[in-house]
Structure 1
Amino acid sequence: MFIRAYLRASTADQNANRAENAIREFAAQQGVRIAAWFRENESGTKLDRPELFNLIEQSEQGDVLLVEQVDRLSRLGESDWNKLRGLLKSKGIRVVALDLPTSYGALKSTDGVESFEGRMLSAVNEMMLDMLAAVARKDLDDRKRRAAEGVARRRAADEDKPAEQKGYQGRRVDADMHANIVELKKAGKSYSDIERLLKVSRPTVARALKLAGMIGAA
Structure 2
Amino acid sequence: MYVRAYLRASTMEQDAGRARADLEQFCHERELRIAATYEENESGASLRRPQLFRLLSDSQPGDVLLIEQVDRLSRLSEDEWEKLKAAIKDRGVKIVALDLPTSHMMLKTEDVFTGRMFEAINAMLLDMLAAIARKDYEDRRRRQAQGIAKAKAEGRMKGRREDTKRNDAIMAMLANGQSWNTIVQATGASRSTLSRLSQRLKSSSPVS
Query: How many Å separate the matches in 1 of 2:157 and 2:32?
Result: 56
Aligned to 1:145: 142
Q: Would the aligned equivalents of 2:5 and 2:38 in 1 still touch at CA under 8 Å?
A: yes
Query: How many Å separate the matches in 2 of 1:15 and 1:2?
Result: 25
Cα deviation per residue 1:189-214 (whole Å; 9 max; x = unaligned)? Answer: xxxxxxxxxxxxxxxxxxxxxxxxxx
Q: Would the aligned equivalents of 1:32 and 1:107 in 2 still touch at CA under 8 Å?
A: no
Aligned to 1:11: 11
How has the CA–CA distance of structure 1 residues 34 and 169 changed in structure 2, closer, same or farther, with 3 Å as cutoff?
Answer: closer
Greater Cα radius of gyration, structure 1 or 2: 2
Cα displacement (A) at 1:151: 3.3
Cα deviation per residue 1:43-102 (whole Å; 9 max; x = unaligned)? Answer: 111102111101101111111000011111111111111000011112111000000101
Give the 3-state SS of the residue equivalent to 2:61 in structure 1: coil
Aligned to 1:58: 58
Structure 2 residue ranges without an equivalent (≥5): 160-208
Query: How many Å separate the matches in 2 of 1:98 and 1:152?
Result: 38
Aligned to 2:67: 67
Give the 3-state SS of the residue equivalent to 2:34 in structure 1: coil
Query: How many Å separate the matches in 1 of 2:35 and 2:74?
Result: 22
Q: Would the aligned equivalents of 2:16 and 2:40 in 1 still touch at CA under 8 Å?
A: no
Cα displacement (A) at 1:153: 3.8
Q: What amino acid does structure 1 have at the position aligned with 2:8? A: R
Identity, in percent, stands at 53
Instruction: Kindly report structure 1 stretches of 4+ aligned residues shifted beyond 4 Å.
Output: 168-171
Structure 1 residue ranges without an equivalent (≥5): 159-166, 172-218
Q: Would the aligned equivalents of 2:17 and 2:39 in 1 still touch at CA under 8 Å?
A: no
Aligned positions of 1:68-147 closer than 5 A: 68-109=68-109, 111-112=110-111, 114-115=112-113, 117-147=114-144
Query: How many Å separate the matches in 2 of 1:169 and 1:11?
Result: 23
Q: Count the aligned residue pairs.
A: 160
TM-score (norm 2): 0.71
Cα displacement (A) at 1:154: 4.2
TM-score (norm 1): 0.68
Moved more, 142-151 or 96-105: 142-151
Q: Would the aligned equivalents of 2:67 and 2:98 in 1 still touch at CA under 8 Å?
A: yes
Cα deviation per residue 1:103-139 (whole Å; 9 max; x = unaligned)? Answer: 0011112x52x22x22111101000001111111111
Give the 3-state SS of the residue equivalent to 1:35 in structure 2: strand
Query: How many Å separate the matches in 1 of 2:70 and 2:97?
Result: 6
Q: Would the aligned equivalents of 2:106 and 2:118 in 1 still touch at CA under 8 Å?
A: no
How has the CA–CA distance of structure 1 residues 13 and 150 changed in structure 2, closer, same or farther, with 3 Å as cutoff?
Answer: closer
